[in-house]
Amino acid sequence: MGNLTDIVRELAAANRILAHEGVVDAYGHISVRHPDDPKKYLLSVSRSPELVEPEDIMEFHLDSNPVKDDTRPKYVERPIHGSIFEARPDINSVVHNHAYDVIPFTITDVPLRPILHSARRMKDVAPVWDIHDKFGDTDLLVSSNDHGRDLAAALGDGRVVLMRGHGCAVAGTSIADAVQTSVYAMVNARILLQALMIGGGKVKYLHAGEITAPASRRDQLKGQNRAWETLLSRAGISL
């Protein structure tokens, strides 16, 4: 990963991209593991994602307590981030969003699984975490480390975990990976919903081996990420 200044700028940009793509609205957030200390992560103060600037980025310990005294308001649901970083050393960026297209798959028995080649990065079926199972009647927000750790356990070694009646959490190896997984999980959900409607419930999903097959363009794409550049450009950002 790059240096701290670059990562902070990239994280602020990622907030704006997620807003521009409709993955997040006034709510939702993206974090990144601290490039110099894997026991810390970076996350904005409580702001609408489309307004996030580099100055808004704060440092947190993995228990989601702030590293420095800072009176600015903080996201209540930051345990989503700390708990996933704690459970998954392979993960460097986490998105929480309420993308509307994903919600039907959180409240029905219809699984959200990849049907689209660009959604291969979401891996296989996204598990559904129901806060009610362990915590009973709550406001559904992941507001404690107990909630966060239970959510992280449901994510397992996957990339997307759905949150019943709420949204989802997405885990990526980098900011760009977490953003693109969030975008394509949402697009995949939208297209799957359409396909289920016109297909009378019969849909061809990606085969398990297609999800894990190595990317044929990997070498060609070294040092260049066309999708990430497009997302930046669409959101009017140059880094």
So which residues are the catalytic ones?
Answer: 77
Q: Which neighbouring-strand residues pair with 43?
A: 58
The CA distance from 117 to 142, in Å, is 31
**Got the DSSP string for 175-201?**
HHHHHHHHHHHHHHHHHHHHHHHHTTT
The CA distance from 85 to 40, in Å, is 9
Listed in sequence order, the residues at least 6 apart from 210 whose beta carbon sits closer than 8 Å to its beta carbon are 117, 120
By the 8 A CB rule, do 121 and 177 touch? yes
The CA distance from 75 to 60, in Å, is 11
Q: Half-sphere exposure of residue 82, counting CA atoms within 13 Å on the CB side?
A: 23
